[in-house]
Structures are given as C-alpha cells and as structure tokens.
Amino acid sequence: MLRSVVRGCGSYLPERIVTNAELAQRVDTSDEWIVQRTGIHQRHVAAEGETTSMIGLKAARAALADAGMDASEIDLIVVATATPDHTFPATATQIQAELGITEGAAFDLQAVCSGFVFGLATADKFLRSGAARAALVIGAETFSRILDWEDRATCVLFGDGAGAVVLKAEEGGGTLADRGVLTTHIRSDGRFKNKLYVDGGAGSTKTVGFLRMEGKEVFRHAVVKLAETVQHTFSETGLSGRDIDWFVPHQANRRIIDATADKLGISHDRVVVTVDRHGNTSAASIPLALAEAHRDGRIQPGQLVLIEAMGGGFTWGSALIRW
C-alpha cells in the first residue's frame, strides 16, 4: 500500500514584524486586549511587492533542501492560499516555474484557514493512487493585503507567511505503524458563508475586498467542529489524545487551541504553538508550525502528529501523520 511520507518541511516569514504596540498606534486597541483574547504578541507582514508566490517559493525551497531532493523530482504542487498573486494563473504555477519544473501539475486550492489540511488530503489521494510520485504541499498567505486596517476586530489577528512539506509516495504495510499520512478528514458547510468572508471578488465586485468576520460566532463553531473532526480520526484509528506525540493545530487564537486540546485530552506540553509570534497566517499556519517543531527537534521520525484547522466557508478538517 502506498503512503505519502513527509520527506521535508520548510517555512518562510517576511522580515518585517508588527507588534501589538505598533497596532495600538493605528487603531483603538491595546497589547493587553490582544494578548488576553488571542495570545498574539506580534505578526510578520510582507514587504511592498513581496507576493504570496515569492514567500511560498522560499518555503518550498527550504522544504526541498530539508528533504535533500531536487525540484525535478516533484510532479505535483498544491498551493493552499486565499491570497493568490493574481486571480489567475494559479500561484502554484508561478512557484512551479521558479523551481524550473516543467512536468506534472500545479494548482491552487481554496479552503482559507483549512487550506493546508485540504491540500494535504488532496496530495495524499494523488500519491496513494499512483497518479503522482512526489508532491509539494504549500500553505502561503499575504493576509495583510485583504485586511481592513481600520477594523480593530480583524486587523490585529492575522499575519503573513508560508510553509511547505515534501511528500513522497512510498510502500507501507497498511497499518498505523506506517510512516506517512495515515488519515485525513475534510468537511465544509457553505451555510456559514457570512460568518467569515471577503467582501469582494473577481466574479462579483471586480475588486479584491476586505476580510469580514463575526469573531464570536467563528470561535464558537471552531471549538465544536475541530473536536468533532478529530474524534473521527480517533474512532477510525482507535487512538486517543494520549497517543498523540504532537498536536499541531491551526493557529488562530490561543484560547481555541487550549480549549480544543482540553476537549481531546491532549496535554498542553504536546501542543505546538506559534500564534504568539505569527498571528493567524491562515493556510500557512500549520506548515509554519510543523517546520518550526521539526527544525528544533521536537517532532522526531516515527512520532504521531495530529493537525487540524477550521476556516471560512466554513471548512474544517484534520489529518494524522506518522512523521
């Protein structure tokens, strides 16, 4: 049985850091409010002219270097992003071209904050069916470009960044002892569109628009839906929170992360947290956190890593990976 094994992981954050204190000079907020309600202390913001494909490319190169693989070995690129460089062509094809790849397929996938989980689930299907041999799954976002910098309820929450993993199809025994992606669960429910959306688009207003969110409502749904999707993983595998070596959740709000970990019986010292330094980087948040914990030696080969995310749509999902 073919498994999608993580061969490498990398990330990139734009140089400029924006602190809560800096934001407090622009809108009616405070470091105390932001830290207390979200756990965020700072976020990175892309430079003028620094696009999603540029930061995604840096993360992809870092992941390939970590894997010790050449770009020519990649025959599938999935970029999860809600902030593409252009309406078309896909950001993935720009990254493909910069990597010098002319074979295989590259496309963008849009599931907002759940994008990386959806991207991983998609690439896993291609690799396990034999339709592709090695994939780059990239989460890359420049949410700073779709924020209403006058709206204190949203502009303090998000940041820019990119992360990537290299997946390679390898034979496994078909058990939970295999390395690679073991389970994926993805869901969506479009009835919740108005809770979290961008008020523009090529096919409607002909503008890009700004992010709008009913924060409290999203929060309420997030804790319920995230726990529910992980329970599917647990019932499918017979595992429980105690079996998870590292929980790497989408990084939207420290309170959501803690509440979800508690619901799932995962102790807080097994949770990878980056929201304090990155803010919510949407589809990039999980691969950024994976890359950090992989780089600093927390995540070790053979360990069980659980990822989950929830975002606009609503979309939500989870995946279990043996590293």
Options 91-99, 100-108, 150-158, 290-298: segment touching ligand UT7 (CB under 6 A): 150-158
Catalytic (active site) residue 155: no
Residue 252 touches ligand UT7, criterion: CB under 6 A? yes
Residue 270 touches ligand UT7, criterion: CB under 6 A? no
Name the DSSP class of 83: S
Of 95 and 222, nearer to ligand UT7 (C-beta) is 222
Catalytic (active site) residue 221: no
By three-state DSSP, how is residue 257 classified? helix
Of 82 and 95, nearer to ligand UT7 (C-beta) is 82
Contact 88, 290 (CB under 8 A): no
* Residue among 213, 139, 187 nearest 310 (CA): 187
Distance CA 101, CA 189 (A): 35
Of 195 and 322, nearer to ligand UT7 (C-beta) is 195
Contact 260, 25 (CB under 8 A): no
Could you tell me the smallest distance in angstroms from the CB atom of residue 6 to ligand UT7? 23
Could you tell me the smallest distance in angstroms from the CB atom of residue 155 to ligand UT7? 8
Of 104 and 311, nearer to ligand UT7 (C-beta) is 311
Q: By Cβ distance, which residue is nearest to ligand UT7?
A: 215
Angle between helices 215-237 and 254-264 in degrees, nearest 10: 30
121: CB partners within 8 A, 6+ apart: 184, 185, 186, 317, 319
Catalytic (active site) residue 253: no
45-104 residues in contact with ligand UT7 (CB under 6 A) are none
User: How far is residue 220 from each of residues 143, 174, 227, measured CA to CA in Å?
Assistant: 22, 37, 12
Residues at the site binding ligand UT7, with contacts judged by CB under 6 A = 29, 33-34, 37-38, 113, 152-153, 156, 196, 215-216, 218-219, 222, 252-253, 256, 280, 310-311
Give the residue numbers marked as catalytic.
113, 250, 280
